[in-house]
Structure 1
Amino acid sequence: MESQRTFLFIGLLLVSFLLFQEWNSDYNQPANNPSAQTQSNAQTNAGQSDVPNSDIAEPLASTSASQQVISVTTDVFAVKIDTLGGDIIEAKLLQHAETHGSDEPYLLLGQFEGNEYFAQSGLIGLNGPDARKEGRPVYQSAQQSYTLEGDTLAVPLTFVDAQGVSYTKTYTFHKNRYDVTLDYDIQNNTANAVQVQLYTQVKRTVQDKGSLIDQSYLGGAYGTDEVNYEKYSFDDIQDKELKESTQGGYVAFLQHYFVSAWVPAQDQTNTIYMRLPTAKVAQMGIKSEPVNIAAASSATFTSTYYMGPKDTDALEALHPNLDLTVDYGWLWFISQPLLSLLKFLHSFLGNWGLAIIAITVLMKTALYPLTKAQYTSMAKMRALQPKIQALKERYGDDRQKFGQATMEMYRKEKVNPMGGCFPLLLQMPIFLALFYVFLESPELRHAEFGLWLTDLSSKDPFYVLPVLFGASMFLMQKLQPMTVTDPMQQKMMTWMPVFFSVFFLWFPSGLVLYWLVSNLISIAQMLIIYRGMEKKGMKVRG
């Protein structure tokens, strides 16, 4: 019945509202703009409360006149490393703009608007240099700046403790890659064994994120040998700190379009932890098992840190489950093929807007048999309105007999009253899946179409698409045979284009483009189907 379609439209309207709330809370987060005191603050504070719980008391940060910040530049990064602890205290992604049209690269790690986001690592345990009572070590570097000129760039940092144990912490950067290799080389030059334990972690200011849909979110995630992917939000850490033992594993911090993750050696036992050393700061990291290094011998620890866009191929290459951090939610089985198809179409069309139009044409073509059944069913329902009205007059207030007689008539006339709902039901999950593609896929961030549409991942700046969408929806209603008789439902259907247009004002323009093109194709299909039915003598409109 027409009322069924009305309820479906209302459902889609509600879903659109929820998606708008999710998009607005996520997309309009404050930009990661570094303050003028980023470097000095990082040097002073980066080492405080940074060491995870170990067998001895947690030390305070040390300061030294030799402490400095090292700059590293590659084709994809502009990175700063603090020699206090050897932490990455800033990372700019040179191939991603901070905002659309900006020349400033995107600041992924650093200090911005009172928040901090660092990648940290060190050696704790009985003899670890990061577990000393006097504070974390200050490493020495042969250079203050490094630039990638070949395929790889090694940045070694050295430290020798009071007992003569030598530590070399080396970051290796790779051309056109967002993963960085961390190697710890320990040379025990003493006459006694030493015990150390590697930890790698992300330090992030706790932030509240109001959201009605827990999908694209700001928070932690991890994987173990038993759990492929599990989100662990700031609220989860506040309720209960995480501590999981696993073979291999990974830990990650997720945000809109980007992710950072530590992936340790997968052939060893590790402890994944997420904790709150202070009320405002969270640590998400991994500790290896303690290792004894015999006198006059050496050992090496290795881990990998990824800091960049949510590239499924690059993430899966580091860990078989790390690509799950590109979180498409429960519709992942639709979102992933949609993105693959969009990429394929973009590969030869060269424009994401054209790719969206092409994928819409393909979807509507595939759904054409159902669409034809929908409009045929609606036309037949309209043709039956006089008979339905006669049944109402015959049975009066006896709704049970009226319903039974109506269903018997539908059976004889071979009309499915729900036939008009199936195409809409199929389009809703496609629409939702495409929403999460826009929310999670960095390929579509700042994607251009043409003319005034310079960023398909943000709203239409002149609201042209939402207005055209509303007009197309209004035209569809005028062309469709109206079978609803209830005045309230008629008003709701009349105002539906206005409601949708208002909600779509703030939606990413790529989504509105998809729905507008879908409506235009539906109008063309509707005219073709109705013309064929009218040639057969069936009264469709009027």
Structure 2
Amino acid sequence: MDRNSITGLLLITLILIGFWFINKPSQEQVEAMRQQRDSLRMVEMLEEERRLSEEVRKEAEATPVSLTDETVTITENDTVQQQRARQMYGQLSPFVSGEQEFFTLENEKIIMTFTNKGGRIYSVELKDYKTHEGEPLILFEGENNKFGFSFTHNTRVFNTNDLYFDVQSHSDSIIVFQIATEQNESLRFRYTLPEDEYMTGFAIQTQNLRNLMATPRGTIDINWHVEMPAFELNRTQEQPNTRLYYKYHLSDVDNLRPGRNDSESIRTPLKWIAFKSQFFSSIFIAEETFTGAYLSAVQEENEYSTFLSYKTAEALVPVDFSLNQEHRFNFYFGPNHYYTLNSYGKDLEFNRLLPLGWGIFGWINRFAVIPVFNLLENRIASYGIIILILTLLIKLVLFPLTYKSYISTAKMKVLKPQIDEINERIPKDKALERQQAVMGLYKKAGVNPMGGCLPMLLQMPILIALFRFFPASIELRQEAFLWANDLSTYDSIIDLPFNIPFYGAHVSLFTLLMAITNIVYTKMNMEMTQSTNQMPGMKGMMYMMPVMFLFFFNSYSSGLSYYYFISTLITIFQTIIIKQFVDEKKLLKKIQANQKKPVKKSKFAQRLEDMAKQQQQIKKKGKR
């Protein structure tokens, strides 16, 4: 092997070693991969458990001694059938078949229907709300909702969701379902519905179940599955807001990724699990904690389906059937209303179900916008007027910034002839020298070139906060104003017979008005800010923004478009009024007076000057 070959091999080896070090996963990445493997392992274990349960169930159905087996002749009497059932199902034989019955608990807010099959909630209706079609708003109903846990008895797998419970007691606010044997073994599901509440109490009571029930890992895996129906007019906005949230015990609130199929296996304690739609939620809350959970969300791809997504939660609860225990939980079935959610305790953090924005945007909504909105709501019936007053208050608070922004822009406008003179005097190839001269002019004139931008930047958090507030506000749901039938969704004045990509099949008038006022305001700004011609393409870009808003907001909340429309309209009027009181000639004289005063160079200006000198010296050396 010659020297070149050896050198080549060494280089290749060094490159591979370097490549390995560069692509070596960090400790965080290694930990993330480990957690992912653990999650996949948990999912595989749960899937294997389901598969075995299904095989056992199918085997039981295929066994000749089944209660429904065709080999059982009509000549056999009831005693023989009971004996066969007992051989098959053991002590649970009285509960594997029966007739489904329904029971109701009702208060001022909700109607809950229960079924003895599974001893579970069959449906929940919110009395104060309707669907966009005017139908009763039912969060879930029938077989679209499953709730129960699996266990083994007599070598067979059962699920409480399929067993027929007896009703031990039933009153106006309490219903108790039970499975009880002659050996004083019992499993009870107890539901309580207080007056004027969205919160329902739920308890699992066990007594002497050691020989009747057994579960793997010393836990019961409560399986809750709901097919989430559509309630609103605008499916494209409702479906992304139909999510699965969960709260870690003594920690933060998290959710599965919206808009896609997702699942999560969680091995740390959880406080609650929520199936959330755009304006309503079903929340399962542990009095203590769930020790872990497997969570899954599957999106409905058919846009014509009555369902939006399918949520599943398998919550793990430690249980010891050798002891008599009571495991307490709660259900919240109600609106995503900020103060209603907060009324159940800030430590539960139900209000995090509202997508009010992160950081400063959420703070603005929680501590400023919502309190003011609630104050106005208690005194004014029309939500259109409430939004108008809210906008006026916000523009009043921001008026000093608007005034400062206008004055800064006006100063830039009166300096335009001097800036043009600098641009003509200094060629384009000396960009740094030209910039230095312009900055020197600004310094002498006492003008901050960022003075017009900074006030606008300070207003951006409020604009973004309100962008999150209006679509999430249940107060606007089905509230009409002018031609808009529902301020929580789009205000269609024309339904098109075809769909325009990125726009939709309707025309929203508030969005159209918003786009027009933005174009007018953009034109006014362009007339004020044409101090330089260095960026000729910027003019077209500025006019493109209102057009983009027209497409983006067409299917959004009409309350939001209405707010942006009147906000921009008020800004236009403010600008016209300010213009009447600002004399540009006097402003120019004031600037000229400032230019005559001696100006101390700032550090930034000094650095620019030094850079210009260095550039000139380099060019001189290059010419030599």
Taking structure 2 as the reference length, the TM-score comes to: 0.65
The 3 A distance-change label for structure 1 pair 129 and 512 is farther
Gaps of 5+ in 1: 1-49
Q: Deviations over 1:395-430 (max 9, x none)?
A: 112211111111111111111222222333233332
Whether the 8 Å CA contact 2:140–2:228 is kept in 1: the answer is no
Q: Which residue of 2 aligns with 1:255?
A: 277
- Given that 1:96 and 1:105 are in contact with CA atoms closer than 8 Å, whether structure 2 keeps it comes out as yes
Contact 1:193/1:293 (8 A) holds in 2: no
Are residues 1:273 and 2:303 paired? no
What is the CA distance between 1:497 and its match in structure 2?
Answer: 3.9
- Alignment pair present for 1:387 and 2:432: no
Q: Deviations over 1:244-266 (max 9, x none)?
A: 232x6111222211221111122
Q: Name the structure 2 match of 1:340.
A: 371
The AA in structure 1 aligned to 2:271 is G
Following the alignment from structure 1 to structure 2, what is the Cα–Cα distance between the partners of residues 195 and 65? 24
Partner SS for 2:447: coil
Q: Distance in 2 between the 1:263 and 1:524 partners? A: 51
1:323 is matched with which residue? 351
Q: How many residues align?
A: 466
Distance in 2 (alpha carbons) for counterparts of 1:378 and 1:184: 69
Decide whether the 8 Å contact of 2:126 with 2:136 is kept in 1: yes
2:195 and 2:276 mapped to 1: Cα distance? Answer: 24
Q: 1:191 to 1:237 in 2, by over 3 A?
A: closer
Contact 2:240–2:258 (CA under 8 A) maintained in structure 1: no
Supply the AA of the counterpart residue of 2:252: N
1:93-122 deviations in Å (ceiling 9; x for gaps): 2211111xx4312232137xxxx7526244
Among 101, 116, 134, the alignment partner of 1:103 is: 134
2:471, 2:557 within 8 Å by CA — same for their partners in 1?
Answer: no
Q: Cα deviation per residue 1:157-197 (whole Å; 9 max; x = unaligned)?
A: 22224754123322112233221111233343x89797775
**Counterpart position of 2:601:** none
The answer to whether residue 200 in structure 2 is matched with residue 180 in structure 1 is yes
1:350 to 369, 374, 381: 381
Measured after TM superposition, the shift of residue 139 of structure 1 is 0.9
For residues 536 and 355 of structure 1, what CA distance do their matches in structure 2 show? 41
Q: 1:440 to 1:135 in 2, by over 3 A?
A: closer
Change (3 A) 1:506 1:323: closer
Structure 2 SS opposite 1:482: helix
Q: Is the 8 A contact 2:473 2:488 kept in 1?
A: no
Contact 2:148 2:161 in 1 (8 A): no
2:442 corresponds to 1:400? no
Partner in structure 1 of residue 147 of structure 2: 120
Q: Quick check: 1:274–1:285 contact (8 Å CA) kept in 2?
A: yes
For residues 466 and 218 of structure 1, do their structure 2 counterparts lie closer, same or farther at Cα, with a shift above 3 Å needed? closer
Which residue in the other structure is 1:466 paired with? 511
- Do the aligned residues in 2 keep the contact of 1:221 with 1:254 (CA within 8 Å)? yes
Identify the residue that residue 514 of structure 1 maps to in structure 2.
563
Residue pair 2:118, 2:161 contacting (<8 A) in 1 also = no
Cα shift at 1:133: 8.0
1:457 Cα deviation from its structure 2 partner: 0.9
The equivalent residue for 1:534 is: 583
Contact 2:188 2:205 in 1 (8 A): yes
Contact 2:474 2:488 in 1 (8 A): no
2:175 aligned with 1:155 = yes
Structure of higher CA gyration radius = 2
Distance between the aligned counterparts of 1:329 and 1:129, measured in 2?
A: 52
Give secondary structure in 1 for the equivalent of 2:166: coil
Contact residue 315 and residue 323 of structure 1 kept, 8 A:
yes
Counterparts of 2:154 and 2:406, CA distance in 1 = 73
1:378 to 393, 409, 429: 409
Which one of 206, 219, 228 corresponds to residue 252 of structure 2? Answer: 228
Runs (5+) with no aligned partner, structure 2? 1-45, 59-94, 230-234, 301-308, 494-507, 590-624
Kindly indicate whether residue 397 of structure 2 is the aligned counterpart of residue 366 of structure 1: yes
Q: How does 1:436-455 map to 2 (within 5 A)?
A: 436-448=468-480, 450-455=481-486
Residue 489 (structure 1) aligned with residue 531 (structure 2): no
1:55-74 maps to which residues of 2 (within 5 A)?
Answer: 57=53, 60=57, 64-74=97-107
**3-state SS of 2:291 partner:** strand
**Structure 2 partner of 1:18:** none
- Which amino acid is 2:561 matched to? V
SS, match of residue 126 in structure 2 = strand
After superposition, residues 34-53 of structure 1 pair within 5 angstroms as none
**How far 1:132 moved relative to its partner?**
3.5
Structure 2 residue identity aligned to 1:165:
E
Q: Which structure's relative contact order is higher, taking Cα pairs within 8 Å and 6+ residues apart?
A: 1
Deviation at 1:228, TM superposition (A): 1.9
Question: In 2 relative to 1, CA 129–184 (structure 1 residues): closer, same or farther, beyond 3 Å?
Answer: farther
Instruction: Give 3-state SS (helix, strand or coil) of 1:308's partner.
Output: strand
2:549 to 475, 497, 500: 500
Tell me the CA shift for residue 371 of structure 1: 0.8
Distance of aligned partners of 1:140 and 1:429 in 2 relative to their CA distance in 1, 3 Å threshold: same
Q: Quick one: distance in 2 between partners of 1:182 and 1:52?
A: 30
Matched, 1:218 2:242: yes
Q: Relative to structure 1, is the Cα distance of residues 470 and 221 closer, same or farther in structure 2, using a 3 angstrom cutoff?
A: closer
Which region of structure 1 is more displaced relative to structure 2, 492-501 or 452-461?
492-501
**CA-atom RMSD, angstroms?**
4.0
Q: Is the 8 A contact 1:129 1:161 kept in 2?
A: no
Kept after mapping to 1: 8 A contact 2:104/2:112: yes
- Cα deviation for residue 87 of structure 1 reads 2.5
Task: Call closer, same or farther: CA 1:468–1:212 in 2, change over 3 Å.
Answer: closer
Amino acid aligned to 1:75: E
Aligned equivalents of 2:49 and 2:490: distance in 1?
Answer: 46
Tell me, in whole angstroms, the C-alpha distance in 2 between the residues paired with 1:135 and 1:129. Answer: 18
CA distance in 2, matches of 1:245, 1:375: 55
Shift of 1:342: 1.0
SS of 1:418's partner is coil
CA–CA separation in structure 1 for the residues paired with 2:465 and 2:204 = 43
Structure 1 position 220, deviation (Å)? 1.9
Contact 1:273–1:284 (8 Å) recurs in 2: yes
Give yes or no for contact 1:51–1:130 (8 Å, CA) kept in 2: no
Does the 8 A contact of 2:238 with 2:278 survive in 1? Answer: no
> In structure 2, do the counterparts of structure 1 residues 508 and 261 end up closer, same or farther at CA, with 3 Å as the change threshold?
same
Contact map agreement 1:219 1:231 (CA 8 A) in 2: yes
Q: Residue 194 of structure 2 aligns to which amino acid in structure 1?
A: H
| Aligned residue among 314, 336, 341 for 1:310 | 336
Equivalent position of 1:4 in the other structure: none
- 1:242 and 2:269 are equivalent in the alignment: no
1:82 counterpart residue number? 115
